[in-house]
Amino acid sequence: MAATLTLAFFDSPVWNNLALILGQLLLVFIVFWMVFSILMAILIVISIHKKQMYFPRLLRPFFTIMEGTVKIVCLLLGVDGKELMEFLIRIDNEMNFSNFAKTPVEKRVIFFPQCLRSRDCPAHLTPDGLKCVSCGRCGLGRAIPALNAAGYKTFIIPGSTFIKRMVKKYQPKAMIGVGCMMEVKEGLQMGRKISMTTIGVMTKTDGCVETTMDYEELMEVASLGLAEQIVMEPDPRSGTR
């Protein structure tokens, strides 16, 4: 009896009309979502080419939801994955600059990848990471003392899991993560997950040994919200990073 009533319902005009309405609503939603995705992708492409942020607080969460679709549309519009990722890192940084500047410097930390050091680096591993001895073989020996003097806690980390341990140990409110594009992306994602203000600074070269970075860019970011600009000691060597 129940089965007969069920079949009768699905054969009834009421169900047919309901199914038609649901199908139309689904079609409208799909069309709207695709059009919206294309418009957002176009906005991202324009922002990348003009090097100007348009509606970053709208673009970032939208990209998180529709990453695959946006990547395909951007690729069709001539934007490769690297350009797109760099743009998203810029969005994250721009959105975090204000809160970062408001965070007391003693509540900020900076994580450096070990690949920045010289292949002849004499630093030894401690519970808080590699301990720089300012030997002069790389830029870290000039950057870290300047940052520490300004009030930052700095770490040269042997791996990404080390960041979580240091965050748990020291409980900072904001951090700067230095690394290659993928490392910075993962660091920003981690910052969002733990609700920590995070700024990413990308290295200029990739690799596992003797990578380079723009230390002036780092000092500008690290100086946000401070009364004075953090300045590194001049490099006594010529033609080095």
128-187, pLDDT tens digit by residue?
A: 999 999 998 999 999 999 999 999 999 999 887 899 999 999 999 999 999 999 999 999
The pLDDT tens digits for 40-60 are 777 777 777 776 766 677 777
Is it the case that residue 85 has pLDDT exceeding 80?
Answer: yes
pLDDT of residue 20 exceeding 90: no
Cα(94)–Cα(53) distance, rounded to whole angstroms?
9
pLDDT higher at 95 or 61:
95
- The answer, yes or no, to whether residue 14 has pLDDT greater than 90, is no
Q: Provide Rg for the chain, Cα atoms.
A: 25
CA-to-CA distance for 199 and 201, rounded, in angstroms?
7
Residue 70: partners with Cβ closer than 8 Å, 6 or more residues away: 37, 40, 41, 44, 62, 63, 84
**Per-residue pLDDT at 41:** 74
Tokens of 163: 């960041």
Which band of pLDDT confidence, cut at 50, 70 and 90, is reported for residue 15?
low
Adjacent-strand bridge partners of 156 = 112, 130
CATH number for the domain running over 97-222: 3.40.50
Residues of each domain in the chain carrying CATH 3.40.50: 97-222
